[in-house]
Amino acid sequence: MAKKAYERPLIKKLETGMPSKFGLRNDLVPVTHIDEVAVSELVEKYGSPLFVLSEETIVNTIEKARRAFTTRYPRVQFAWSYKTNYLDAICRIFHLEGAWAEVVSGFEYEKALRNGVDGKKIIFNGPEKSRPGLLKAIHNDSLIHIDHLDELYELVELASETNLKPRVAIRINMDTGIYPQWDRFGFNLETGQAWDAINKIMHSGKLELTGLHCHIGTFILSPGAYGVAATKLAQFAIDIRNKFNHTIKYLDLGGGFASKNTLKGSYLPGPDINPGFDDYAEAITTSLHNSGFQTNELPLLILETGRALIDEAGYLITTVLGNKRLASGGRSTIIDAGVNLLFTAFWYDHKTVPAQPFSLYREETVLCGPLCMNIDVVRDNISLPLLKKNDRLVIHNVGAYNMTQWMQFITMRPAVVMISADGIVHQIRKKEDIDTILQSEIIPQYLLSKS
Ligand SMILES: *Cc1c(COP(=O)(O)O)cnc(C)c1O
Protein backbone atom coordinates (compact mmCIF):
# COMPACT_ATOMS: atom_id res chain seq x y z
CA MET A 1 0.00 0.00 0.00
CA ALA A 2 1.35 3.44 -0.96
CA LYS A 3 2.37 5.66 1.90
CA LYS A 4 -0.16 8.42 2.47
CA ALA A 5 0.98 12.04 2.10
CA TYR A 6 1.53 13.74 5.45
CA GLU A 7 0.08 17.10 6.21
CA ARG A 8 0.88 18.93 9.41
CA PRO A 9 -2.24 18.99 11.62
CA LEU A 10 -3.79 22.38 12.24
CA ILE A 11 -6.98 23.35 13.99
CA LYS A 12 -9.06 25.54 11.73
CA LYS A 13 -12.72 26.43 11.53
CA LEU A 14 -14.30 24.76 8.55
CA GLU A 15 -17.32 26.13 6.75
CA THR A 16 -20.11 24.15 5.19
CA GLY A 17 -21.74 26.98 3.33
CA MET A 18 -22.85 29.20 6.19
CA PRO A 19 -26.11 31.08 5.70
CA SER A 20 -25.85 34.82 5.15
CA LYS A 21 -28.65 37.38 5.18
CA PHE A 22 -29.44 36.15 1.64
CA GLY A 23 -29.99 32.61 2.83
CA LEU A 24 -27.99 29.46 2.42
CA ARG A 25 -25.84 29.68 -0.64
CA ASN A 26 -24.23 26.47 -1.71
CA ASP A 27 -23.91 26.54 -5.45
CA LEU A 28 -20.61 24.70 -5.60
CA VAL A 29 -21.02 21.52 -7.60
CA PRO A 30 -18.09 19.99 -9.43
CA VAL A 31 -17.68 21.00 -13.07
CA THR A 32 -16.57 17.68 -14.52
CA HIS A 33 -17.61 18.53 -18.10
CA ILE A 34 -17.70 21.55 -20.38
CA ASP A 35 -20.39 21.28 -23.04
CA GLU A 36 -20.53 17.56 -22.26
CA VAL A 37 -16.83 17.01 -22.90
CA ALA A 38 -14.96 15.62 -19.87
CA VAL A 39 -12.42 18.01 -18.37
CA SER A 40 -10.11 15.05 -17.68
CA GLU A 41 -10.15 14.06 -21.36
CA LEU A 42 -9.41 17.60 -22.48
CA VAL A 43 -6.38 17.81 -20.20
CA GLU A 44 -5.14 14.39 -21.20
CA LYS A 45 -5.17 15.39 -24.83
CA TYR A 46 -4.14 19.06 -24.77
CA GLY A 47 -2.34 19.50 -21.45
CA SER A 48 -2.87 21.83 -18.52
CA PRO A 49 -3.48 24.71 -18.25
CA LEU A 50 -5.96 24.83 -21.11
CA PHE A 51 -8.32 27.49 -22.43
CA VAL A 52 -11.65 26.12 -23.61
CA LEU A 53 -14.22 28.09 -25.60
CA SER A 54 -17.82 27.08 -26.15
CA GLU A 55 -19.27 27.90 -29.56
CA GLU A 56 -22.75 27.14 -28.27
CA THR A 57 -22.41 29.77 -25.56
CA ILE A 58 -21.05 32.34 -28.01
CA VAL A 59 -23.92 31.80 -30.41
CA ASN A 60 -26.54 31.84 -27.65
CA THR A 61 -25.09 35.03 -26.19
CA ILE A 62 -24.97 36.92 -29.47
CA GLU A 63 -28.51 35.75 -30.18
CA LYS A 64 -29.66 37.19 -26.83
CA ALA A 65 -27.90 40.48 -27.54
CA ARG A 66 -29.32 40.69 -31.05
CA ARG A 67 -32.84 39.99 -29.85
CA ALA A 68 -32.60 42.64 -27.12
CA PHE A 69 -31.75 45.33 -29.69
CA THR A 70 -33.63 44.27 -32.84
CA THR A 71 -36.94 43.93 -31.01
CA ARG A 72 -36.58 47.53 -29.82
CA TYR A 73 -34.98 49.27 -32.80
CA PRO A 74 -35.30 48.67 -36.54
CA ARG A 75 -31.69 49.02 -37.70
CA VAL A 76 -28.95 47.34 -35.67
CA GLN A 77 -25.45 46.15 -36.58
CA PHE A 78 -22.90 44.46 -34.32
CA ALA A 79 -19.16 44.78 -34.99
CA TRP A 80 -16.87 42.30 -33.26
CA SER A 81 -14.22 44.00 -31.11
CA TYR A 82 -11.05 42.22 -32.20
CA LYS A 83 -8.92 43.13 -29.20
CA THR A 84 -11.38 41.37 -26.88
CA ASN A 85 -10.51 38.02 -28.46
CA TYR A 86 -8.85 37.90 -31.85
CA LEU A 87 -8.30 34.19 -32.26
CA ASP A 88 -9.32 33.70 -35.88
CA ALA A 89 -11.74 30.85 -35.14
CA ILE A 90 -13.59 33.06 -32.66
CA CYS A 91 -13.70 36.08 -34.98
CA ARG A 92 -15.07 33.88 -37.74
CA ILE A 93 -17.94 32.69 -35.54
CA PHE A 94 -18.91 36.31 -34.93
CA HIS A 95 -18.63 37.14 -38.63
CA LEU A 96 -20.78 34.12 -39.52
CA GLU A 97 -23.31 35.50 -37.05
CA GLY A 98 -23.36 38.69 -39.08
CA ALA A 99 -20.96 40.88 -37.12
CA TRP A 100 -18.67 43.36 -38.84
CA ALA A 101 -15.12 43.83 -37.55
CA GLU A 102 -14.05 46.57 -35.12
CA VAL A 103 -10.26 46.95 -35.05
CA VAL A 104 -7.87 49.28 -33.24
CA SER A 105 -4.55 48.69 -35.01
CA GLY A 106 -3.03 47.89 -38.37
CA PHE A 107 -2.38 44.38 -37.12
CA GLU A 108 -6.01 43.81 -36.19
CA TYR A 109 -7.10 45.40 -39.48
CA GLU A 110 -4.96 42.89 -41.38
CA LYS A 111 -6.38 40.03 -39.31
CA ALA A 112 -9.93 41.07 -40.18
CA LEU A 113 -9.08 41.18 -43.91
CA ARG A 114 -7.52 37.73 -43.70
CA ASN A 115 -10.67 36.49 -42.00
CA GLY A 116 -12.48 37.44 -45.18
CA VAL A 117 -14.23 40.54 -43.86
CA ASP A 118 -15.23 42.95 -46.62
CA GLY A 119 -13.21 46.17 -46.20
CA LYS A 120 -16.47 48.15 -46.17
CA LYS A 121 -17.44 46.28 -43.01
CA ILE A 122 -14.31 47.07 -41.03
CA ILE A 123 -14.47 49.86 -38.47
CA PHE A 124 -11.01 51.27 -37.87
CA ASN A 125 -10.83 52.79 -34.38
CA GLY A 126 -8.13 53.91 -31.98
CA PRO A 127 -5.15 56.23 -31.95
CA GLU A 128 -2.82 53.74 -33.67
CA LYS A 129 -3.34 54.31 -37.37
CA SER A 130 -0.20 54.59 -39.47
CA ARG A 131 -0.12 56.33 -42.84
CA PRO A 132 0.10 53.02 -44.75
CA GLY A 133 -2.68 51.67 -42.52
CA LEU A 134 -4.91 54.64 -43.34
CA LEU A 135 -4.12 54.33 -47.04
CA LYS A 136 -5.16 50.71 -47.03
CA ALA A 137 -8.37 51.55 -45.18
CA ILE A 138 -9.14 54.32 -47.70
CA HIS A 139 -8.61 52.01 -50.67
CA ASN A 140 -10.84 49.37 -49.03
CA ASP A 141 -13.54 51.97 -48.29
CA SER A 142 -13.49 51.07 -44.58
CA LEU A 143 -15.12 53.17 -41.87
CA ILE A 144 -12.38 55.29 -40.31
CA HIS A 145 -13.18 56.68 -36.89
CA ILE A 146 -10.97 59.73 -36.35
CA ASP A 147 -9.30 60.01 -32.94
CA HIS A 148 -7.49 63.36 -33.10
CA LEU A 149 -6.84 66.38 -35.34
CA ASP A 150 -3.46 65.23 -36.65
CA GLU A 151 -5.19 62.14 -37.98
CA LEU A 152 -7.91 64.31 -39.51
CA TYR A 153 -5.33 66.45 -41.33
CA GLU A 154 -3.48 63.35 -42.56
CA LEU A 155 -6.74 61.96 -43.92
CA VAL A 156 -7.46 65.21 -45.79
CA GLU A 157 -3.97 65.01 -47.27
CA LEU A 158 -4.39 61.34 -48.27
CA ALA A 159 -7.79 62.09 -49.78
CA SER A 160 -6.20 64.70 -52.04
CA GLU A 161 -3.34 62.39 -52.98
CA THR A 162 -5.56 59.43 -53.81
CA ASN A 163 -8.49 61.36 -55.22
CA LEU A 164 -10.74 59.22 -53.05
CA LYS A 165 -13.31 60.37 -50.48
CA PRO A 166 -12.68 58.35 -47.29
CA ARG A 167 -15.71 57.44 -45.21
CA VAL A 168 -15.13 58.82 -41.72
CA ALA A 169 -16.76 59.24 -38.33
CA ILE A 170 -15.38 61.01 -35.31
CA ARG A 171 -15.01 59.43 -31.93
CA ILE A 172 -16.64 61.62 -29.31
CA ASN A 173 -16.05 61.60 -25.58
CA MET A 174 -18.55 63.21 -23.27
CA ASP A 175 -19.92 63.47 -19.77
CA THR A 176 -22.38 60.60 -19.27
CA GLY A 177 -22.12 60.49 -15.49
CA ILE A 178 -19.32 57.88 -15.58
CA TYR A 179 -16.17 59.03 -13.80
CA PRO A 180 -13.29 59.20 -14.33
CA GLN A 181 -14.38 60.31 -17.78
CA TRP A 182 -12.52 58.65 -20.66
CA ASP A 183 -11.40 61.84 -22.38
CA ARG A 184 -8.19 60.66 -23.99
CA PHE A 185 -9.90 59.15 -27.02
CA GLY A 186 -11.62 61.23 -29.65
CA PHE A 187 -13.01 64.75 -29.38
CA ASN A 188 -14.79 66.12 -26.36
CA LEU A 189 -18.39 67.16 -26.83
CA GLU A 190 -18.87 69.64 -24.00
CA THR A 191 -15.73 71.69 -24.72
CA GLY A 192 -16.56 72.12 -28.41
CA GLN A 193 -13.76 69.90 -29.76
CA ALA A 194 -16.29 67.65 -31.49
CA TRP A 195 -17.91 70.59 -33.31
CA ASP A 196 -14.48 71.85 -34.26
CA ALA A 197 -13.64 68.48 -35.88
CA ILE A 198 -16.99 68.29 -37.69
CA ASN A 199 -16.61 71.84 -39.06
CA LYS A 200 -13.14 70.99 -40.34
CA ILE A 201 -14.36 67.78 -41.98
CA MET A 202 -17.32 69.47 -43.64
CA HIS A 203 -15.41 72.53 -44.82
CA SER A 204 -12.58 70.41 -46.24
CA GLY A 205 -14.98 68.78 -48.67
CA LYS A 206 -12.56 65.87 -48.86
CA LEU A 207 -14.08 63.44 -46.38
CA GLU A 208 -17.45 61.68 -46.34
CA LEU A 209 -18.83 62.12 -42.82
CA THR A 210 -20.89 58.97 -42.26
CA GLY A 211 -21.23 58.44 -38.53
CA LEU A 212 -20.65 59.44 -34.94
CA HIS A 213 -18.94 57.13 -32.48
CA CYS A 214 -18.47 56.91 -28.74
CA HIS A 215 -17.16 54.23 -26.39
CA ILE A 216 -17.74 55.53 -22.90
CA GLY A 217 -15.77 52.94 -20.95
CA THR A 218 -15.77 49.27 -20.10
CA PHE A 219 -17.75 47.10 -17.69
CA ILE A 220 -20.21 49.97 -17.26
CA LEU A 221 -22.75 48.92 -14.64
CA SER A 222 -25.10 51.78 -15.36
CA PRO A 223 -27.34 51.43 -18.46
CA GLY A 224 -28.46 55.01 -17.83
CA ALA A 225 -25.02 56.25 -18.94
CA TYR A 226 -25.70 54.73 -22.39
CA GLY A 227 -29.05 56.48 -22.42
CA VAL A 228 -27.27 59.80 -21.89
CA ALA A 229 -24.66 58.98 -24.55
CA ALA A 230 -27.33 58.01 -27.10
CA THR A 231 -29.31 61.19 -26.42
CA LYS A 232 -26.22 63.38 -26.84
CA LEU A 233 -25.05 61.63 -30.03
CA ALA A 234 -28.55 61.81 -31.53
CA GLN A 235 -28.86 65.52 -30.76
CA PHE A 236 -25.42 66.13 -32.23
CA ALA A 237 -26.41 64.32 -35.43
CA ILE A 238 -29.55 66.46 -35.67
CA ASP A 239 -27.53 69.63 -35.10
CA ILE A 240 -25.13 68.61 -37.87
CA ARG A 241 -28.06 68.07 -40.23
CA ASN A 242 -29.48 71.46 -39.35
CA LYS A 243 -26.18 73.24 -39.89
CA PHE A 244 -24.86 71.42 -42.97
CA ASN A 245 -27.97 69.74 -44.40
CA HIS A 246 -25.98 66.52 -44.09
CA THR A 247 -27.38 63.22 -42.80
CA ILE A 248 -25.43 61.10 -40.34
CA LYS A 249 -25.94 57.48 -41.42
CA TYR A 250 -25.04 55.71 -38.18
CA LEU A 251 -24.53 56.19 -34.49
CA ASP A 252 -21.98 53.80 -33.00
CA LEU A 253 -22.41 53.39 -29.23
CA GLY A 254 -19.19 51.37 -28.82
CA GLY A 255 -18.80 48.54 -26.33
CA GLY A 256 -18.48 48.37 -22.57
CA PHE A 257 -21.46 46.30 -21.45
CA ALA A 258 -20.72 44.28 -18.30
CA SER A 259 -20.34 40.51 -18.57
CA LYS A 260 -21.45 38.16 -15.80
CA ASN A 261 -18.16 38.38 -13.94
CA THR A 262 -18.01 39.53 -10.33
CA LEU A 263 -15.93 42.64 -9.75
CA LYS A 264 -13.49 42.46 -6.84
CA GLY A 265 -15.03 43.94 -3.74
CA SER A 266 -18.58 43.37 -4.95
CA TYR A 267 -20.85 42.07 -2.18
CA LEU A 268 -23.12 40.11 -4.49
CA PRO A 269 -22.16 37.88 -7.43
CA GLY A 270 -22.08 39.42 -10.91
CA PRO A 271 -24.73 37.13 -12.43
CA ASP A 272 -27.21 38.38 -9.80
CA ILE A 273 -26.62 42.11 -10.14
CA ASN A 274 -24.96 43.06 -13.45
CA PRO A 275 -27.29 44.57 -16.05
CA GLY A 276 -28.15 42.37 -19.03
CA PHE A 277 -28.52 43.14 -22.75
CA ASP A 278 -32.18 44.08 -22.28
CA ASP A 279 -31.27 46.78 -19.77
CA TYR A 280 -28.67 48.36 -22.05
CA ALA A 281 -30.89 48.02 -25.12
CA GLU A 282 -33.82 49.63 -23.33
CA ALA A 283 -31.73 52.64 -22.28
CA ILE A 284 -30.11 53.19 -25.70
CA THR A 285 -33.12 52.62 -27.93
CA THR A 286 -35.49 54.63 -25.72
CA SER A 287 -33.13 57.60 -26.04
CA LEU A 288 -32.94 57.22 -29.82
CA HIS A 289 -36.72 56.93 -30.20
CA ASN A 290 -37.24 59.95 -27.97
CA SER A 291 -34.77 62.11 -29.89
CA GLY A 292 -35.80 64.31 -32.81
CA PHE A 293 -35.39 61.77 -35.65
CA GLN A 294 -38.30 61.07 -38.00
CA THR A 295 -39.18 57.36 -38.29
CA ASN A 296 -37.77 57.16 -41.82
CA GLU A 297 -34.47 58.76 -40.89
CA LEU A 298 -33.49 56.74 -37.83
CA PRO A 299 -29.75 56.14 -38.13
CA LEU A 300 -28.24 52.66 -38.11
CA LEU A 301 -27.28 51.70 -34.55
CA ILE A 302 -23.84 50.06 -34.39
CA LEU A 303 -22.68 48.19 -31.28
CA GLU A 304 -19.08 47.14 -30.68
CA THR A 305 -19.85 44.88 -27.74
CA GLY A 306 -16.81 42.84 -26.73
CA ARG A 307 -16.57 41.27 -23.29
CA ALA A 308 -20.29 40.79 -22.71
CA LEU A 309 -20.44 38.55 -25.81
CA ILE A 310 -17.49 36.28 -25.08
CA ASP A 311 -16.65 36.20 -21.36
CA GLU A 312 -19.07 33.41 -20.42
CA ALA A 313 -17.95 31.26 -23.34
CA GLY A 314 -14.41 30.96 -22.00
CA TYR A 315 -13.03 28.56 -19.37
CA LEU A 316 -9.53 27.98 -18.09
CA ILE A 317 -8.75 24.49 -16.82
CA THR A 318 -5.93 24.44 -14.32
CA THR A 319 -4.19 21.81 -12.19
CA VAL A 320 -3.21 21.93 -8.52
CA LEU A 321 0.58 21.90 -8.12
CA GLY A 322 0.53 21.79 -4.34
CA ASN A 323 -0.79 23.13 -1.07
CA LYS A 324 0.92 24.95 1.74
CA ARG A 325 0.28 26.72 5.00
CA LEU A 326 1.09 30.39 5.06
CA ALA A 327 2.70 31.93 8.14
CA SER A 328 -0.76 33.19 9.07
CA GLY A 329 -1.99 29.60 9.22
CA GLY A 330 -4.13 30.18 6.13
CA ARG A 331 -4.20 27.74 3.29
CA SER A 332 -2.59 28.47 -0.03
CA THR A 333 -3.18 26.33 -3.09
CA ILE A 334 -0.80 26.70 -6.01
CA ILE A 335 -2.16 26.12 -9.50
CA ASP A 336 -0.47 25.97 -12.91
CA ALA A 337 -2.23 29.05 -14.34
CA GLY A 338 -1.45 32.52 -13.05
CA VAL A 339 -1.93 36.17 -13.89
CA ASN A 340 0.29 35.68 -16.94
CA LEU A 341 -2.71 33.89 -18.50
CA LEU A 342 -5.44 35.53 -16.48
CA PHE A 343 -4.90 39.24 -16.69
CA THR A 344 -8.50 39.80 -15.65
CA ALA A 345 -7.82 38.22 -12.24
CA PHE A 346 -6.68 41.71 -11.21
CA TRP A 347 -10.27 42.97 -11.57
CA TYR A 348 -12.55 40.00 -11.13
CA ASP A 349 -13.20 37.31 -8.58
CA HIS A 350 -13.47 34.65 -11.26
CA LYS A 351 -15.85 31.84 -10.37
CA THR A 352 -13.55 28.87 -9.75
CA VAL A 353 -14.89 25.37 -9.26
CA PRO A 354 -13.19 21.97 -8.72
CA ALA A 355 -13.49 19.56 -11.63
CA GLN A 356 -13.87 16.45 -9.48
CA PRO A 357 -16.21 15.45 -6.63
CA PHE A 358 -15.34 16.92 -3.23
CA SER A 359 -16.46 16.82 0.38
CA LEU A 360 -18.71 19.38 2.06
CA TYR A 361 -15.95 21.01 4.03
CA ARG A 362 -14.43 24.21 2.80
CA GLU A 363 -11.65 26.49 3.84
CA GLU A 364 -10.72 30.03 2.95
CA THR A 365 -7.90 29.68 0.45
CA VAL A 366 -5.44 31.92 -1.36
CA LEU A 367 -5.25 30.63 -4.92
CA CYS A 368 -1.75 31.32 -6.23
CA GLY A 369 -0.41 30.98 -9.75
CA PRO A 370 2.87 29.28 -10.69
CA LEU A 371 4.97 32.40 -11.26
CA CYS A 372 7.83 33.28 -8.96
CA MET A 373 6.19 36.66 -8.38
CA ASN A 374 4.36 37.81 -5.28
CA ILE A 375 1.56 39.40 -7.32
CA ASP A 376 0.66 36.10 -8.94
CA VAL A 377 -2.62 35.53 -7.10
CA VAL A 378 -5.67 34.34 -9.00
CA ARG A 379 -8.10 34.59 -6.05
CA ASP A 380 -6.97 36.23 -2.83
CA ASN A 381 -9.74 34.72 -0.76
CA ILE A 382 -11.92 31.90 -1.98
CA SER A 383 -13.82 29.30 -0.02
CA LEU A 384 -12.78 25.99 -1.56
CA PRO A 385 -12.99 22.34 -0.58
CA LEU A 386 -9.69 20.73 0.26
CA LEU A 387 -7.83 20.01 -2.94
CA LYS A 388 -4.97 17.64 -3.59
CA LYS A 389 -2.01 17.81 -5.94
CA ASN A 390 -3.17 17.05 -9.52
CA ASP A 391 -6.80 17.92 -8.76
CA ARG A 392 -8.26 20.23 -11.35
CA LEU A 393 -10.16 23.48 -11.20
CA VAL A 394 -12.25 25.18 -13.85
CA ILE A 395 -12.04 28.97 -13.87
CA HIS A 396 -15.13 30.55 -15.42
CA ASN A 397 -15.89 33.63 -17.53
CA VAL A 398 -12.41 34.11 -18.95
CA GLY A 399 -13.28 34.51 -22.65
CA ALA A 400 -12.66 38.26 -22.86
CA TYR A 401 -9.21 39.84 -23.06
CA ASN A 402 -7.22 36.98 -21.50
CA MET A 403 -6.35 35.35 -24.83
CA THR A 404 -5.14 38.70 -26.19
CA GLN A 405 -3.50 40.23 -23.11
CA TRP A 406 -1.78 37.06 -21.91
CA MET A 407 1.97 37.19 -21.47
CA GLN A 408 4.71 34.83 -22.40
CA PHE A 409 6.43 35.26 -19.05
CA ILE A 410 8.33 32.56 -17.16
CA THR A 411 6.16 29.86 -18.73
CA MET A 412 4.68 29.32 -22.18
CA ARG A 413 1.16 30.07 -23.27
CA PRO A 414 -1.07 26.99 -23.35
CA ALA A 415 -3.28 25.53 -26.06
CA VAL A 416 -6.75 26.86 -26.77
CA VAL A 417 -9.55 24.55 -27.84
CA MET A 418 -13.06 25.29 -28.96
CA ILE A 419 -15.98 22.93 -28.57
CA SER A 420 -18.12 23.48 -31.65
CA ALA A 421 -21.91 23.56 -31.47
CA ASP A 422 -22.01 19.90 -32.55
CA GLY A 423 -19.85 18.88 -29.59
CA ILE A 424 -16.55 18.33 -31.41
CA VAL A 425 -13.32 19.59 -29.84
CA HIS A 426 -11.15 21.66 -32.18
CA GLN A 427 -7.73 22.95 -31.28
CA ILE A 428 -7.69 26.62 -32.34
CA ARG A 429 -4.27 27.65 -31.00
CA LYS A 430 -1.25 25.49 -30.43
CA LYS A 431 0.53 25.27 -27.13
CA GLU A 432 3.76 27.26 -27.24
CA ASP A 433 7.09 25.57 -26.64
CA ILE A 434 10.67 26.76 -26.39
CA ASP A 435 11.01 26.83 -30.19
CA THR A 436 8.11 29.29 -30.44
CA ILE A 437 10.20 31.72 -28.45
CA LEU A 438 13.63 30.91 -29.87
CA GLN A 439 12.56 31.29 -33.49
CA SER A 440 12.36 35.05 -32.96
CA GLU A 441 15.66 35.38 -31.14
CA ILE A 442 18.99 36.06 -32.84
CA ILE A 443 22.34 35.38 -31.17
CA PRO A 444 25.17 37.58 -32.53
CA GLN A 445 27.86 35.52 -34.24
CA TYR A 446 30.62 36.38 -31.72
CA LEU A 447 28.54 34.98 -28.85
CA LEU A 448 27.83 31.82 -30.77
CA SER A 449 31.47 31.04 -31.40
CA LYS A 450 32.49 31.50 -27.77
CA SER A 451 29.94 29.18 -26.27
C1 LIG B 1 -12.27 47.77 -26.44
C2 LIG B 1 -13.25 48.45 -27.29
C3 LIG B 1 -14.53 47.89 -27.48
C4 LIG B 1 -15.02 46.66 -26.76
O5 LIG B 1 -15.21 46.97 -25.40
P6 LIG B 1 -15.85 45.91 -24.36
O7 LIG B 1 -15.72 46.61 -23.05
O8 LIG B 1 -15.04 44.66 -24.43
O9 LIG B 1 -17.28 45.70 -24.77
C10 LIG B 1 -15.38 48.55 -28.36
N11 LIG B 1 -15.02 49.68 -29.00
C12 LIG B 1 -13.80 50.26 -28.82
C13 LIG B 1 -13.46 51.49 -29.54
C14 LIG B 1 -12.88 49.65 -27.96
O15 LIG B 1 -11.69 50.23 -27.78
What is the CATH classification number for the domain harbouring 342? 2.40.37.10
Does 297 share its domain with 150? yes
Residues 340, 285 share a domain: no
Q: How many domains does the chain have?
A: 2
Whether 103 and 93 map to the same domain: the answer is: yes
- 190 and 292, same domain (yes or no): yes
Q: Residue 414: which pLDDT band, with cuts at 50, 70 and 90?
A: very high
User: What number is the average pLDDT over the span 314-337?
Assistant: 96
Question: What pLDDT is attached to residue 178?
Answer: 87
- 171 Cα nearest atom in ligand 1: 13
Q: Given the CA of residue 104, which atom of ligand 1 is nearest to it?
A: 15
Cα gap 444→86, rounded to integer Å: 34
Q: Which domain holds residue 65?
A: 55-311
CATH number where 190 lies = 3.20.20.10
1 confidence band (pLDDT: 50, 70, 90): confident
Considering the domain architecture, whether residues 257 and 328 belong to the same structural domain is answered as: no
Instruction: Give the type of residue at 410.
Output: I
The reply to whether 359 and 412 lie within a common domain is yes
Q: Is 211 in the pocket of ligand 1 (CB under 6 A)?
A: no
Cβ contacts of residue 278 below 8 Å, gap of 6+?
68
The alpha carbon dihedral of 332, 335, 340, 344 has a sign of negative
Q: What is the mean pLDDT of residues 115-127?
A: 98
Do 336 and 301 fall into the same domain? no
The answer to whether residue 261 sits within a structural domain is yes
CB of 81 within 6 A of ligand 1: the answer is: yes
CA nearest neighbour of 252 among 238, 239, 234? 234
Residue 411 has pLDDT above 60, yes or no: yes
Å from CA of 200 to ligand 1 middle: 27
Say whether both 216 and 151 belong to one domain: yes
User: Does residue 451 lie in a domain region?
Assistant: no
344 in ligand 1 pocket by Cβ < 6 Å? no
Q: Are residues 243 and 146 in the same domain?
A: yes
User: What's the pLDDT at 19?
Assistant: 61
Q: Using the mean position of ligand 1's atoms as its centre, give its distance from the Cα of residue 301 in Å.
A: 15
Asked if the model's pLDDT at residue 436 lies above 60, the reply is yes
Q: Are residues 316 and 296 in the same domain?
A: no
Q: Is the pLDDT of residue 390 over 60?
A: yes
CA 305 to ligand 1 center in whole angstroms: 6
Task: Give the atom of ligand 1 at the shortest distance from the alpha carbon of 309.
Answer: 9
Assigned domain for 19 exists: no
Q: Is the pLDDT of residue 450 over 70?
A: no
The closest-lying atom of ligand 1 relative to the alpha carbon of residue 401 is: 8
Q: Are residues 294 and 365 in the same domain?
A: no
Q: Evaluate whether residue 92 is within a structural domain.
A: yes
Residue where one domain finishes, among candidates 311, 334, 353: 311
